[in-house]
A and B are shown apart, each in its own frame.
Chain A
């Protein structure tokens, strides 16, 4: 099938021929960046406020035992939880603790081309994240398995406090722009719609609940 590339480029060239010669493309970002340094506490207050306005929840937890207790309190007994490999590997005691009364499945149990229906059945997903943004209450995830966190009705994000950043200015930089991964998702609160008479409803296709736990480690 032939592509119209040359025709379109010629049309643009014709249009630009008569126009004033424009300046060369910028080599650097436009100067709006504000890399203000904030302490964790002030950023956490901002993050919590922004996320909770949207119907999410953000809490500080001291250690892995607190995370397990929190997840246990916020999920039904015998419910099925999906745990991403990076989290399961780094926080082993959470896994041991939750496995007592929850059905756990791990990313490592699934190979490429796995059955989507199996993943769609989880009650909750536990995931780590690349960063959290205080300005908007946003979580950044870059993952080798996209669907569990997108399909589960409840999403727990467990993150070290050092990953909380101030603003979107720090997201759209080379740090996240030059990654080799196929995806980067910014998640800001629960999935939502106001398509019916502008009335807000949470949990349309993605998680209805988004809970972010900041771990003091």
Chain B
């Protein structure tokens, strides 16, 4: 197993641990309900369906012309004096970023939030080579200090209470023990300000890449991405190849959808539109901008029935409405991409063998599909993936049962024999034992002593 593969094979073990954590469930419930209420309020004055249809059309167009748009983006990024590097695998992306850092003798990197860098496990990779790499988004900083991974796409420390965070910051950076969020945020600001002022390199993701003018768009609320991309000598943007969209004007749609879907904001506090290193007449900004475009399984999805997964803008709305996510939290998925979209993305990017159970971690209620701002039929996709996984796995007892059931239902005599046997044995301890997993929380339905046909026959005889 490479270092970048997820731990999703352990899903069955992980979810059992997490589902029993009542404090985690309380934290998640509070946070996700609040996020959902804000999202719904923020869409009140807009036609969500209209925007969603437009967004879906743009994303469909982008994926169907992916090579053309990537070439166009690359040409324009070069004109803007950016270096562009395509990486087929996480290993290649990591090696390139390390090479850039080593060529500039970088000792310290400030990093803003990016799911793709989580996918690369970039921070532990760089730290292995002695390069201090500091997460600067408050939530990410907290979980970096805790030695954990994010549990939500947009709210990485959603699983932690203020008391836990206060204790963590007290232990790790030596601040007074005080669980007031304003105090804790102020102390983190002080600690991170020093990092911004001393770092030589910054790493960010990009929410969108604009083909027609080579712009990288970075969306955030804290101002840390703005500093990570401005207060450094070298800036590396790491993102997936599917983030490219055709036109600058397409942002009219996505900017209205992303903030609302993610955090219930009409627009996030900062949108940085980056077009390369500082120009000659500019006094600050990086001297070099590198754009790393990661594939890692994305190109293989083009033309398949899972192609629309490439439309995802990582807003996290599907997590907030998912009854499974709300019960088990993000860590149970064992992947950097949790929740309904993570249950799709993880097996697709890392292979179904690494996440065989994730497509089954859904009630298929369809809430995720309903809130998706780019119209991904998430629960339909999950169902399709279940079929694919089942078709590939060995047929065991379950397959035998269904085969027998099918044969029974096709012949009336067999059906009558089966139902008679079922009525005789349904109340015996043998059946209760065989179904003990199912009957642990439920009762098996009691079958009537006689079938409808038998009752009909005997009643008819009386007339």
Contact = CB atoms under 8 A, between A and B. Distances in A.
A107 B248 CA distance: 30
A195 B66 CA distance: 35
Given A1-B95, A177-B248, A188-B270, A146 B230 contact: yes
Interface residues of B, number: 104
A143 to B, nearest CB: 8
A70 interface: no
Interface string A138-177: 1000011111001100000000000000001101111011
A30 interface: yes
Contacts, number: 265
Contacts of B253: 30, 32
Residue among B136, B186, B196, B223 facing the most chain A CB atoms (10 A cut-off): B223
Residue among A145, A151, A201 facing the most chain B CB atoms (10 A cut-off): A201
A60 to B, nearest CB: 22
B92 A4 contact: yes
B271 A185 contact: yes
A128 interface: no
A195 B137 contact: yes
Nearest to B60: A22
B300 A30 contact: no
A9 B27 CA distance: 44
B157 A195 contact: yes
Contact of A16 (B64, B193, B210, B248): B64
A180 to B, nearest CB: 7
B85 A15 contact: no
Interface string A176-193: 111111111111111111
A150 B193 contact: no
Interface of B: 27, 30-31, 34-35, 50, 54, 57-58, 60-61, 64-70, 80, 85-89, 92, 95-96, 99, 136-139, 142, 155-157, 160-162, 165, 181-182, 184-186, 188-189, 192-193, 196-197, 210, 212-213, 215, 221-224, 226-227, 230-231, 241, 246-253, 255-256, 263, 265-279, 281-285, 293, 295, 299-304, 307
7 contacts: A9-B67, A9-B70, A30-B253, A147-B284, A193-B185, A195-B156, A198-B34
Interface of A: 1, 3-5, 7-9, 11-19, 22-23, 25-26, 29-30, 32-33, 50, 54, 107, 110-112, 114, 116-117, 120, 135-136, 138, 143-147, 150-151, 168-169, 171-174, 176-199, 201, 203-207
